[in-house]
Amino acid sequence: MNTKFSREPAKAALLRRYTIGALLMIAPSFASAEIAVIVNVNNKDKITMEDVQKTYLAKTKTFPGGGKIVALDQTEGSTSRVEFVSKVVKKDEAQMKAYWSRLIFTGKGVPPKVMDSDEAVLEAVIGNPSAIGFIEADAVTDKVRVIGTI
Amino acid sequence: MNVKTVTRFGLSALALAITPAHAVELRFDGFATFVVGQMLDDDELASDAQGNLMPYRGFDDQINFQSNNVFAVQARADLGDGLTATAQITAKGADDYDAKFSWAYFSYELTPELTISAGQMRIPYFFYSETLDVGYSYPFVRPPFNTYDIGGFDNISGLKAEWQTDIGNWVSRVTMLAGRADTTLEISQLPDPVKGQVSRLGLFAWSMNYDAFTVRAIYSHANLSMDLNDYLDAVAFAPISAVGINFSDDARHGAYFKNDSASFYGVAFNYDPGSYFVTLESTALNLKNGFMQNPSEGTYLNAGVRIGKFTPYVTLEHVESDYNEHGYRRLMAEVDSADLPQQFGPQLGPIVYSKVSSGLKQLFTSSLKEENAYNVGVRYDFHPAAALKLEYMTSKTKTDLSPQAIAASVDVIF
């Protein structure tokens, strides 16, 4: 009996330690950057975050208005990409890679073109009416249309 | 396709690629898998009709470094206006790294939803068929072994149409395929491998995806030919013809394939919300004639949990097959009418008869399968482009054997 009672507080303490540990692990994502999904200013389509998710999983290749999508990606491991993949595509980068390997090696899709910075994405979206991309929200200018921030 | 014809194919593709005014975008991707594995106890190895031990999952009691290794490069040329040419060159350890073109095809995107392809490509029989060689794309070391065994008919020369469209919130993908395929079957007692053909193959597959949920159904029909007469004469029926029984062509046909109907169907469910996944797939192959199982059915359940870079998983698999009773009876009818007692006398006759009939039955039932397989493993994504997997596999067979093996693989994409 005694041992049973004495174990409970120890368990609770352990649980508390785990909870704090888990919170500490989660904490960096609270501090992380907001990501804006952007398209060309001339693109007037109503595009939801679900449409964006489907685009980056090759489940859709056209905008709701029918125009062909040119999706832009960023370098693996970059802040923008890590955030975008987790918040919008709802996968981590390893899962994203395994998912795309299935599309590449079955000929079902070609991955979005990889740009090496937010600036490069911004530039490309300004110059291409079919483009869609993601950048850190701070980097947004009025030369692009923001379809959502997350 | 051997490398020489393919080089020619490649060159003509290149010539085509150079002609248009469009800038040609070339893209190279590759993958490699290195597998090492060993059986834990070779007393549990099954043997074939001739008494040769058959490896378990490609492993025996020696550490095997080579036979499951794969190295492949894929080149894709975007010729503009929706036209692409794709070739995949694969070198497998089992073939002594003899590089082969596993795929070489042109695709034309008629609309963003409809793509037509022509050339040599993978037959999408199973949920993981099209990336069977790409270990990085799936959780296990190898997809469920017995279910995914289709006798070497992996690739097809033909035409494919793929139609991807939205139905409400679902993404629908319909694949239609027509063409022909070849394989070879190594028989240890014959100097040359036996050639097999699948002709007039038609396939219809439909997959529906909603968020994390995917369901897929497939049906395929083909005519199968595999002339096993040399094997029947030299090996299988040799002891029977030695006692003076020579089967008619009609009865022999029960033991091989000559333009015979072969159908395949399957369903698969996959739920993958990210932190865990579950896949259930069930398939059946129905062959007319032949010694082989008829029909043969395979079902597996694979589930895993993603914890950071680690993905522990389990796979349970059940396969079973029935023997070709009709083919066996057709041959036995001729054994019955041979009247062995009259030929060998009342004492020896019945003994010869029972030897012949049991030998014949053995031919038809030796490749019968009934097996439950249990696999546990873990995938470790130790690098952004590489995964390490460890798997323990064991089975319970109809004959009460319990083979066990462990395997490790490193899967890379680049």
Average pLDDT of chain A? 83
Confirm if A40 and A125 have CB atoms less than 8 A apart.
Answer: yes
Confirm if B251 and B241 have CB atoms less than 8 A apart.
Answer: no
ipTM of the complex: 0.76
Give CA angle at B369 (B335, B199), nearest 5°. Answer: 80
What residues in A contact B384, CB-CB < 8 Å? 76-77, 93-94, 97
Q: Is the CB of A59 less than 8 angstroms away from the CB of B76?
A: no
Residues in chain B predicted with pLDDT less than 70, given as ranges, are: 1-22, 42, 45-52, 292-295
Report pLDDT for A8: 43
Chain A within 8 Å of B413 (Cβ-Cβ)? yes
**Which token pair is B7?**
């080089």
Top-ranked range on mean pLDDT: pick from A81-85, A91-95, B93-97: A81-85
Largest CA distance in chain A: 74
Q: What are phi and psi of B169, to 5 degrees?
A: -90, 0
Interface residue of B126, B134, B275 to substitute, partner A, most A CBs within 10 Å: B134
Report pLDDT for B180: 93
Q: Is the CB of A101 less than 8 angstroms away from the CB of B306?
A: no
Between A51 and B186, the more confident residue is: A51
Q: Given the structure tokens 């003994």, which residue do they identify?
A: B351
Q: B165: domain CATH number?
A: 2.40.160
Domains of chain A, residue spans: 1-31, 33-149
Report pLDDT for B132: 87
Closest CA to B240 of B258, B252, B228: B252
* CATH number 3.40.190.10 is the correct assignment for the domain at A33-149: yes
Q: Is the CB of B76 less than 8 angstroms away from the CB of A107?
A: yes
Report pLDDT for B76: 94
Its domain, for residue B160, covers: 33-74+106-328+356-413
Residue B130 Cα distances to B8, B148, B329, B334, angstroms: 25, 12, 39, 45
Give the model confidence (pLDDT) of B158-175 as tens digits. Answer: 999 999 999 988 999 999
Report helix, strand or coil for B52.
coil
Average pLDDT on A53-71 reads 91
Between B290 and A49, the more confident residue is: A49
Chain B within 8 Å of A59 (Cβ-Cβ)? yes
How many Cβ pairs closer than 8 A exist between chain A and B? Answer: 66
Report pLDDT for A30: 47
Q: Is the pLDDT of residue A51 over 70?
A: yes
Residue B405 domain-assigned? yes
Q: Is the CB of A101 less than 8 angstroms away from the CB of B413?
A: yes
Residue B115 domain-assigned? yes
Report helix, strand or coil for A139.
helix
Q: Is the pLDDT of residue A141 over 80?
A: yes
Average pLDDT on A51-60 reads 92
A-facing residues of B in 220-249 (CB < 8 A) are: none
A-facing residues of B in 111-130 (CB < 8 A) are: 112-113, 117, 121-122, 130
In chain B, how many domains are there? 1
Residue B175 domain-assigned? yes
Chain A within 8 Å of B334 (Cβ-Cβ)? no
- The model scores a pTM over 0.80: yes
Report pLDDT for A5: 42
How many angstroms away from the CA of A59 is the closest CA of chain B? 7
Q: Sort A127 into a burial class: Cβ within 10 Å, 0-12 / 13-18 / 19+.
A: exposed
Q: Is the pLDDT of residue A46 over 70?
A: yes
Residue A29 Cα distances to A118, A150, B166, angstroms: 19, 12, 33
Give the model confidence (pLDDT) of A104-122 as tens digits. Answer: 988 888 899 999 999 999 9
Chain A within 8 Å of B154 (Cβ-Cβ)? no
Query: What proportion of chain A, given as a percentage, has pLDDT over 70?
Result: 79
Chain B within 8 Å of A108 (Cβ-Cβ)? yes
Chain B within 8 Å of A45 (Cβ-Cβ)? no
